[in-house]
Structure 1
Amino acid sequence: MKFFARVPNINFMAQRKTGLLVSTVLTLGALLLVAIRGLNLGIDFTGGVLVEVEYPQTVELDVVRADLAAAEYDRAVVQYFGSTNAVLIRLPPAANASSAQVSTNILQALHAEEKGIELRRIEFVGPQVGEELTEKGGLALLFAFIGIMIYIAFRFEWKFSIGAIAALIHDAVMVLGYLSLLWVEFDITTLAAILALIGYSNNETIVIFDRVRENLINQRRADILEVVNLSVNQTLLRSVITHLTTLLVLFALLILGGSSVHSFSVALIFGVIVATYSSIYVSTNLAVALGVSREDLLPPEDKEVDAMP
């Protein structure tokens, strides 16, 4: 345990200009990649076909996915619906196919006659639903950024607020670029992963900011770079332990969670790694570049009150 009690002495701010330059280049590259290549949008955003079937007994989702994959329904999203014998299947838009044709093909793929499967409903979801989801998802990200920016400006200082928002935008854009590069399906769970990443990354940033503020007030003779280095080193071991335990859970989800949480796990694993970097070289580094100082964080002095005669 003595190892965890020691505070390392790493000069992170020595590479502050390089770190900010690398972050800027990678963010612009990710934006260009998303703009040119786009995202592999899932059925949640493109619309498609919803098919609900009921098995006579409990069924494993992997069995359903295997039957659909054998019939060349590789992009089908399968999940339980209310119970373990009711399954909801989401398929990409069916071109020039009626509901009768789609239901017949699905039942044949699932070997309905042999297994006693019953078709409960089939619905066609238009792309307008996906457009509405895209709009609301974008608004959710925007409101999250605005709320975080206002809170940090009120709780700390506006220069810290700018740095924190820049780090969150950096993390979100980097994850989008990564998903576009690997062509990972972007569905509603991936959007949830990005929203979760915003909270996770912001928590890491707040911890460093709080220590910077404390050390700026207490370390009167140290300059801003020495204070930032001390603060990052003091929180480093905590960050390493937090990130490692989080990554262990995410890798477990990736390996054992199945296809339903695959994109969620992939997005968060990359996001956690990026957040570790951005909390130092984007948020804190940008606050330093904006000129945050001890005077910005000192509490206001009480006005002297004239003594009563």
Structure 2
Amino acid sequence: MRLRLVPQNTNIDFFRFWKVFAGLSVLAMAASVVLFFTVGLNFGIDFLGGTTIRTASVQTVDVGAYRQALAPLNLGDVSITEVFDAAASAGQHVSQIRIQEQGGDESITPEVIAQIEAALQTFDPSITFPSVESVGPKVSGELVQVAVLSVVLAIAACLIYIWLRFEWQFSVGAVLSLVHDVTLTIGVFCMLQIRFDLTIIAALLTIIGYSLNDTVVVFDRVRENLRRFKKMELRDVLNLSINETLSRTTMTSFTTLIALIAMFTLGGDVIRGFVFAMIWGIVVGTYSSIFIASTIVLKLGVKRDWSKPSAGAGTQYANIDA
């Protein structure tokens, strides 16, 4: 007897309460926009600016111990990573410590730097500090522009890809669902005030790819069924296609969430924001692929003259057991 996450031959009407789901999504997106302009994001060092301190030591870099040594100084957002430095001497371990701006100053004062060095030398007397650099607001502003541009270009590329692969109605549905996912993710980060840095931008781009993949699988099956059932109502074709791919969607999301929840629980503070964004993105991305993208296609309608065979359809894994 095999365990199934989704019963075989499901027949769920996903459009029965489409007005409710659409209304909730619109309200959630509006709330996210309001939160963005009123509360705002809790930007990290990448976007606010700060100071970067490079350390070198014969001892192995212990990120937890470094963080514990700096905790009494109340420096705010501190990022500590071990890095490779080709200029470092043999046997030396190099780390990069990034500290947010202090009290609106572009760089931290020499007194604070001295306190940081003393705190780390208490833990490791052999540690040295080869360089101290500041990241000003101009550089941070450029990073914000590049981050926004990268997300916009990713969504635009998805728009063109879906348009060429399917029809423009599918393209609009897929892209609006991506905008829905990104907007809600930013809204959650505004509401919870989780640190927003370049790793979260990476998570947003990953969410776009994940959600798009899920949507394409459903749309591929829709295209197949439109050829197969030429007289079936579009609503019924969409329902049939979503039900046929539901096992694949559930299994993919479930197995990915298992790994992400383990990382969120055991991974520590350094990657917690990134993992949270991924968890939220998978949940909302799965929801939008089923309830948002398909609903938009239903309302826009699609042509029913599919004369070409579906040899290029990529749904051979859509019916896996789940």
Structure 1 residue aligned with 2:177 = 167
2:119 pairs with 1:109: yes
Q: Give the whole-Å Cα distance in 2 for the aligned partners of 1:58 and 1:120.
A: 17
Residue 262 of structure 1: how far off its partner (Å): 1.3
2:98 pairs with 1:90: yes
The CA deviation string for residues 109-159 of structure 1, in whole angstroms up to 9 with x for no partner, is: 223486321111101110111111111111111111111111111110000
**Cα 1:265–1:220, aligned 2, differ >3 Å: closer, same or farther?**
same
**Cα 1:204–1:82, aligned 2, differ >3 Å: closer, same or farther?**
same
Q: Give the whole-Å Cα distance in 2 for the aligned partners of 1:197 and 1:226.
A: 29
Q: Give the whole-Å Cα distance in 2 for the aligned partners of 1:249 and 1:127.
A: 37
Amino acid in structure 2 at the alignment position of 1:35: F
**Aligned residue pairs: how many?**
299
Query: Does structure 2 retain, via aligned residues, the 8 Å contact 1:49–1:94?
Result: no
The CA deviation string for residues 161-210 of structure 1, in whole angstroms up to 9 with x for no partner, is: 00001000000000000011110000010010001000000000000000
2:263 pairs with 1:253: yes
2:287 pairs with 1:285: no
2:277 pairs with 1:241: no
Structure 2 residue aligned with 1:176 = 186
2:160 pairs with 1:158: no
Quick check: which one's helix share is greater? 1
Pairing of 1:172-211 with structure 2 (within 5 A): 172-211=182-221
**Cα 1:257–1:36, aligned 2, differ >3 Å: closer, same or farther?**
same
Q: Give the whole-Å Cα distance in 1 for the aligned partners of 2:148 and 2:292.
A: 23
| Alignment equivalent of 1:28, drawn from 27, 30, 42 | 30
Q: Give the whole-Å Cα distance in 1 for the aligned partners of 2:253 and 2:3.
A: 20
2:77 pairs with 1:69: no
| Alignment equivalent of 2:155, drawn from 133, 145, 153 | 145
Residue 298 of structure 1: how far off its partner (Å): 4.3
Q: Give the whole-Å Cα distance in 1 for the aligned partners of 2:302 and 2:124.
A: 71
Query: Does structure 2 retain, via aligned residues, the 8 Å contact 1:207–1:235?
Result: yes
Q: Percent identity?
A: 35
Residue 99 of structure 1: how far off its partner (Å): 5.2
Amino acid in structure 2 at the alignment position of 1:56: V
The CA deviation string for residues 207-244 of structure 1, in whole angstroms up to 9 with x for no partner, is: 00000111111012321111111100111111111001
State the Cα RMSD in Å: 2.0
Amino acid in structure 1 at the alignment position of 2:98: R
Q: Give the whole-Å Cα distance in 1 for the aligned partners of 2:34 and 2:307.
A: 42
Q: Give the whole-Å Cα distance in 1 for the aligned partners of 2:114 and 2:258.
A: 43
Residue 74 of structure 1: how far off its partner (Å): 3.8
Amino acid in structure 2 at the alignment position of 1:260: V
Structure 2 residue aligned with 1:223 = 233
**Cα 1:22–1:98, aligned 2, differ >3 Å: closer, same or farther?**
closer
Structure 2 residue aligned with 1:305 = none
